[in-house]
């Protein structure tokens, strides 16, 4: 560190503060930072342009009226397609079931690794990240015989689209694991559990009333990610012939592309608002800046 001034600036803005810290150099430094600003703006404009253009096009496309006017008819028409409403309802039901199933499966297991058997942490993590290495379409190929069997032997229950929940829970594991794990890291779960147990609480009560409230940020973001994944899931439902939201949108696109685009845009905005709220307000949430050295990707 060359000057105390530079040190204090560096400390105040430990990361990404170069624009502040640079000018202490000379004209050269200042010039380079102006160049940097230009480069930043150019990059932001180009990449945002590419990312925003299709969204703007969706908005423009779905609000086209007759003779160049604007209208919201396509959005209103959403409600005149009963298939679509059914698809939305089915997907929402699956989403809710997936959230509960995922939490029921993951939270006790992960709490148990922290409290009792830390050496299993690695194994559980590996299992949870496994779906990233097995493409969804491969799961379909392997699971189709199982679903065929369920459909023929379990009757109405086995053939219901809600059975998709079983696979969606698997698909959401990598993301849910990350989210809950970052929640668990922020509190001393072992001490909490010991305290609750020593006061006479059983395990169910310890987990539900003591640990869950303390990791609600992680649970919330895991749930949101699960909802987003289920609402966007197409591969598995279409290949197993279940009419979920995305399958219906796809079919609708062949009949009335304007309404289909309107639905797609609405679903996207819904997901964005959900995730933005989480990123803003939940601790240990998906987009938290300083943490998570290694986040994981999309299917």
Residues 58-87 that bind other proteins (CB under 8 A): 58, 60-62
Toward other proteins, which CB reaches closer, 23 or 155? 23
Residue 162, burial from CB neighbour count under 10 angstroms (0-12, 13-18, 19+):
middle
CB of 77 to other proteins, least distance (A): 15
Residues 232-271 that bind other proteins (CB under 8 A): 232, 234-235, 238-239, 246, 249-250, 253, 257, 260-261, 264, 267-268, 271
- Separation in Å, CA 21 to CA 14, 27, 30: 10, 13, 10
Per CB under 8 A, contacts with other proteins among 148-187 are 166-167, 169-170, 173, 184-187
Residue 8: CB minimum distance to other proteins, A: 12
Q: Candidates 21-29, 72-80, 86-94, 153-161: pick the segment binding other proteins (CB under 8 A).
A: 21-29
Using CB under 8 A as the binding criterion, the count of chain residues that bind other proteins stands at 119
DSSP H helices, the chain, are 4-12, 18-21, 27-62, 73-77, 82-115, 121-133, 136-153, 155-158, 164-185, 189-198, 203-205, 212-214, 216-232, 235-239, 245-255, 257-281
Task: Give, in order, the Cα–Cα distances in Å from 78 to each of 55, 70, 152, 234, 262.
Answer: 19, 17, 34, 19, 8
Among 96, 105, 162, 212, binds other proteins (CB under 8 A): 105
Instruction: Give min distance, CB of 137 to other proteins, in A.
Output: 5
Q: Cα–Cα distance between 126 and 27 in angstroms, integer?
A: 52
Please identify, using beta-carbon distances, which residue of 160 and 235 lies nearer to other proteins.
235
CA end-to-end span of the chain, whole Å? Answer: 45
Binding segment toward other proteins, per CB under 8 A, in 69-77, 90-98, 143-151, 152-160: 143-151
- Determine, following the binding rule CB under 8 A, whether residue 205 of this chain makes contact with other proteins: no
Q: Whose Cβ is closer to other proteins: residue 5's or residue 85's?
A: 5
């Amino acid at each position: 560190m060359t000057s105390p001034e530079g040190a204090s600036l560096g400390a105040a803005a430990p990361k990404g503060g170069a624009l502040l810290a640079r000018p202490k150099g000379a004209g050269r430094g200042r010039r380079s930072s102006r160049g940097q600003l230009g480069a930043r703006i150019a990059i932001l404009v180009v990449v945002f342009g590419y990312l925003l253009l299709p969204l703007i096009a969706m908005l423009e496309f779905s609000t086209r009226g007759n003779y160049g006017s604007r209208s919201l008819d396509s959005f209103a028409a959403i409600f005149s397609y009963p298939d679509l409403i059914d698809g939305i309802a089915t997907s929402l039901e699956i989403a809710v079931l997936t959230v509960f199933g995922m939490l029921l499966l993951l939270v006790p297991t992960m709490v148990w690794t922290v409290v009792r058997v830390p050496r299993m942490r690695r194994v559980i993590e590996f299992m949870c990240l496994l779906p990233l290495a097995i493409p969804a379409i491969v799961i379909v190929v392997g699971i189709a015989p199982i679903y065929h069997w369920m459909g023929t032997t379990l009757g109405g229950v086995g053939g219901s689209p809600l059975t998709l929940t079983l696979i969606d829970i698997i698909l959401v594991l990598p993301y849910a694991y990350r989210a809950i794990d970052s929640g668990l890291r922020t509190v001393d779960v072992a001490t909490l559990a010991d305290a609750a147990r020593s006061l006479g609480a059983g395990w169910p009560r310890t987990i539900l009333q003591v640990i869950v409230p303390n990791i609600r940020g992680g649970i919330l973001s895991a749930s949101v990610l699960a909802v987003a994944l289920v609402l966007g899931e197409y591969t598995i439902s279409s290949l197993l012939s279940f009419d979920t939201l995305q399958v219906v949108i796809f079919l609708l696109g062949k009949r009335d592309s304007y309404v289909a685009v309107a639905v797609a845009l609405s679903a996207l905005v819904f997901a964005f608002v959900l995730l933005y709220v989480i990123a803003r307000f939940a601790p240990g949430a998906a987009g938290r800046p300083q943490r998570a050295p290694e986040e994981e990707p999309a299917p």
